[in-house]
Amino acid sequence: MQFPASQIALLINGKIEGPPEAVVTSFGKIEEAKEGQLTFFSNPKYEEYIYTTKASVVLINDSFELKQPVTATLIRVPDAYTAFAILLGKYQEIIQQQLTGIQQPSYIAKTAVYGENIFIGAFAYIGENVKIGSNTKIFPNAFIGDNVTIGDNCLIDPGVKIYHDCHVGNHVNILAGSVIGSDGFGFAPQPDGTFIKIPQLGNVIIEDKVDIGANATIDRATVGSTIIRSGAKLDNLVQVGHNAEVGSNTIIAAQAGVSGSTKIGKNVMIGGQAGLVGHILLGDGAKVNAQSGVSKSIAPGKSVTGSPAYDYTAALRSQAIARNLPEMEKRIKELEALVMQLLKEKV
């Protein structure tokens, strides 16, 4: 597929500097791009490459001032990184729209219904009473359990498992190997030290425009629903426990774990390998640093770090003090020696 700079500029409402007929057929990194490719420049660390790149078209921030001539056609936009992401999304949509039909062998229950322009890959399993919206793509070896609902324009990657009764909204991407709606971790301790499994009778609700990375797991609720609100983004290997709720536009980085019944507000940011205990509340806009252990609720807008996690600014001050401890010890010993000397002279 070929796209001229003039067409690209229309898609992202950009302003062209250079030949508008420049054509691109693929994407590349600014330091490696070749003729016929599109790239972007937004990080000052890569400024040298804007003058040497062989890319045919470069997206660039409105505010950037060139220090020397460039050979590529430039398209100026408010945020080059965001514009590049939009173009990648458009390109992906075009590719996915070309992928339609039902491959064999696959199993689709007679009671399942689906919309227009869907794709179901080989060895996929579609259970009883499943509802799949238009333009949704389900790739090989996916399992869609009974009574599952999947909305329009979704992408269900190879090997994804969506258990019975779960609901997936519109424009949701679930990457390879993720498991949605497996049993929550519920066991009742007994006097003799054994455990009785608590049946997990709820489901998982994933709202619109959610992205879930590879090999993530979201447990079904004991009763009610585990909920991932609209616009949330979960990285690879994220675990969300039963009856938890992840707020709108919240981001959770890789290997983080959210225990059962924890409620996370909107626009929260949780770093990689962070761990959250159950039955706590993270307020809107809270931030949890990577590898933090969160053992109690966090107020809206507050940032925490460490294990157990506490106020981010206070933690930085403590770390600064800790780094100075050897010097402080030396000074204390010098003061002690001086005091002892003064005492001896007084005597």
Element containing residue 89 per DSSP (H, E): helix 80-97
Task: Identify the architecture of domain 3-97 in CATH.
Answer: 3-Layer(aba) Sandwich (3.40)
Task: Identify the architecture of domain 101-313 in CATH.
Answer: 3 Solenoid (2.160)
- For residue 187, the number of C-alpha atoms closer than 13 Å in the C-beta half-sphere is 7
* Selected catalytic residue, list 167, 171, 242, 279: 242
pLDDT tens, 48-106?
999 999 999 999 999 999 999 999 999 999 999 999 999 998 888 787 777 899 999 99
Q: What is the SS3 assignment for 88?
A: helix
Give the per-residue pLDDT at 314.
79
* Crossing angle (nearest 10°) for helices 325-346 and 312-323: 60
pLDDT tens, 181-203?
999 999 999 999 999 999 999 99
Q: What is the pTM of this model?
A: 0.82
pLDDT tens, 215-224?
999 999 999 9
Could you say which residues of the chain have pLDDT below 50?
A: none
Active site (annotated) includes residue 164: no
Give the per-residue pLDDT at 347.
65
Answer whether the bond into residue 69 is a cis peptide, omega within 30°. Answer: no
**Per DSSP, which regions of 78-154 are E strands?**
101-102, 107-108, 113-114, 119-120, 125-126, 131-132, 137-138, 143-144, 149-150
152-158 long-range contacts (CB < 8 A, ≥24 apart) are: 152/115, 155/96, 157/214, 158/121
